[in-house]
A and B are shown apart, each in its own frame.
Chain A
Amino acid sequence: MRHTDRAISTAVSAETIERELEEGLDRPPDAVARYALGLGDDALILAQRLGEWIAHAPELEEDVALGNIGLDLLGHARSFLTYAGSAWGLGEDDLAYFRDEHEFRNHQLFERPNGDFAHTIARQLFASVYFDALYRRLTSSADPTLAAIAAKALKEVEYHVDHSVQWVRRLGLGTDVSHVRMQAGLDAMWPFVDELFRPDPSAAGLEGVAVPPEELRDPFDRTVPAVIAEAGLRVPDIPAARGGGRDGMHTEAFGHLLAEMQVLVRQHPGATW
C-alpha cells in the first residue's frame, strides 16, 4: 500500500500509521524523520506538562479541559514519533522513554514549568496559535503522512486556541489579581516565543515537505497581540531566551520532567497494565 491509498485526514493515529507501515507504507527518509521527531517532541513534552494539572486545576471542569488538550497533543506526538521512529527501526516508546535530555528536540517553551494557572494559559495560547499556524501549512506537505497527521491535529488545535483565548480574556478582564497574574504569565513565557520562529536545521533542505518556521511568525503576530490587547493586557517587551531546543539544549526544568515521564518504564522494563 502506498501513502496515497490512505484517506487523508480521517482520524490518522499512531496505530493506523504502524499498521500501514507494516503493510508497506514508505518509511520516511532520515531527514524527514528528524523533522518529524522535533514536531513529535514538541507535542509530547507539552502533553506531559498539561498532565501535571490533573487533580490540581482550579476546578474539576478545568482539570478535564486541560487533560483533554494534553491527550490530544499526546495523540499528535504518538503519530509523529511512530512515523519518525520507523526510519530507524524504533517504536514510539523507544523514542519517548529511552532518550536522554540532549536527545530531545522540543522547543524550550513546551518544557517550561506550569507555574500558576495563568502561566499555563499563557504558554498554551502561544503554543496553540503556533501549532495552528504550523499544521495549517503542513496539511499541504509533500509528505502525505505528515500532511495527514497535521490535518487530524489541526481540527483539535483549533479548539485549543479557542480555550486559551477565552481564558486570557477572562483573566485579563477579571479581577485585579487575575489581571496581574495573567500579565505575569505572559511575561514569563514570552522569552521562549522567539525560538519557535528561528530557522530550524531539521526543516532546512526539506522544501515542500517541512514548513520553514520563519514563515509562521506572521500568522502568530496577526493573532496573539490582538488577543492580548483585547484582554486589556500588554504584549511583553522582554528579550528572547537563548533557545536551542531543536539542537538538544534544554532548560533546567526539563530534567525533572523527563525523570517523571520515564521513571516507571525504566524501573520496570516491559511493564504493561
Chain B
Amino acid sequence: MSASAERQRPDGQQRAEQQAAEQHETWPLWEVFIRSSRGLSHVHAGSLHAPDAVMAVRNARDLYTRRGEGVSVWVVPSSAITASDVDARDAFFESAEGKEFRHATYYTASEGVPHL
C-alpha cells in the first residue's frame, strides 16, 4: 500500500501516531497556509510541529512570516488532509490528456463576433 493511500484510510500505525501525539510524546504536524498582502488566496507555505492549533499559528508566524510575507495565516492538522495517490497519478489525471477542447485556446473566434 502506498504512503498516500495510507493517509486516506487511517490504519493501525497512523492511529498509534495520533495517540503518541496526544500523549505529547511528539507534537503533531500542521500544514501552514499564508495569504500575502496582495494575494487573493492562502497559499501552502510548508509544515511545522506544534502542541495545538493556537501555538501552531504562532509558530507559523515565526517560521514563515519573518520577512513580511503574509497578512493572514491558516493552519490545518496534516492528519485532516486527504491526498490523492501519487503512485496512481497516471490513471488519475490521464483523462485530461488529449482533450484540448477543454482549453479556451482550442476555439477560434468567429468573424463578426465583436466582443469575444
Name A's B-contacting residues (CB within 8 A): 59-62, 64-65, 68, 159, 162-163, 166, 170, 174-175
- The 7 A-B residue pairs with the shortest CB-CB distance, nearest first, are A61-B59, A65-B62, A64-B62, A68-B62, A61-B48, A61-B49, A59-B49
Q: Is B44 interfacial (CB-CB < 8 Å)?
A: no
A195 to B55, CA, bound (A): 32
Looking at A59, A60, A61, A166, the one whose CB has the most chain B CB atoms below 10 A away is A61
Residues 2-24 of B contacting A (Cβ, < 8 Å) = 24
A60 to B47, CA, bound (A): 12
A65 to B49, CA, bound (A): 12
Q: Can you report 22 A-B residue pairs in the complex whose CB atoms are below 8 A from each other?
A: A59-B27, A59-B49, A61-B27, A61-B48, A61-B49, A61-B50, A61-B59, A61-B62, A62-B59, A64-B62, A64-B63, A65-B59, A65-B62, A68-B66, A159-B61, A163-B58, A166-B54, A166-B55, A166-B58, A170-B51, A170-B55, A174-B24
Residues 28-61 of B contacting A (Cβ, < 8 Å) = 48-52, 54-55, 58-59, 61
**Interface extent on B, as a size class?**
10 to 19
Residues 50-101 of B contacting A (Cβ, < 8 Å) = 50-52, 54-55, 58-59, 61-63, 66
A163 nearest CB neighbor, chain B only: B58
Please indicate the chain B residues that have their CB under 8 angstroms from the CB of A59 in the complex. Answer: 27, 49
Name B's A-contacting residues (CB within 8 A): 24, 27, 48-52, 54-55, 58-59, 61-63, 66
A60 to B48, CA, bound (A): 9
Q: Are A162 and B58 in contact (CB under 8 A)?
A: yes
A178 nearest CB neighbor, chain B only: B24
A143 nearest CB across to chain B (Å): 29
A63 nearest CB neighbor, chain B only: B62
A60 to B27, CA, bound (A): 11
A157 to B51, CA, bound (A): 23
Please indicate the chain A residues that have their CB under 8 angstroms from the CB of B62 in the complex. Answer: 61, 64-65, 68
Looking at B49, B62, B66, the one whose CB has the most chain A CB atoms below 10 A away is B62
B23 nearest CB neighbor, chain A only: A175
A60 to B46, CA, bound (A): 15
B63 nearest CB neighbor, chain A only: A64
A66 nearest CB neighbor, chain B only: B62
A174 to B22, CA, bound (A): 12
B52 nearest CB across to chain A (Å): 8
Please indicate the chain B residues that have their CB under 8 angstroms from the CB of A65 in the complex. Answer: 58-59, 62
A60 nearest CB neighbor, chain B only: B49
A97 to B48, CA, bound (A): 37
A78 to B51, CA, bound (A): 34
Please indicate the chain A residues that have their CB under 8 angstroms from the CB of B63 in the complex. Answer: 61, 64
A191 to B76, CA, bound (A): 41
A50 nearest CB across to chain B (Å): 13
B48 nearest CB neighbor, chain A only: A61
A61 to B59, CA, bound (A): 6
A159 to B58, CA, bound (A): 9
B24 nearest CB across to chain A (Å): 7
A175 nearest CB across to chain B (Å): 7
A163 to B59, CA, bound (A): 10
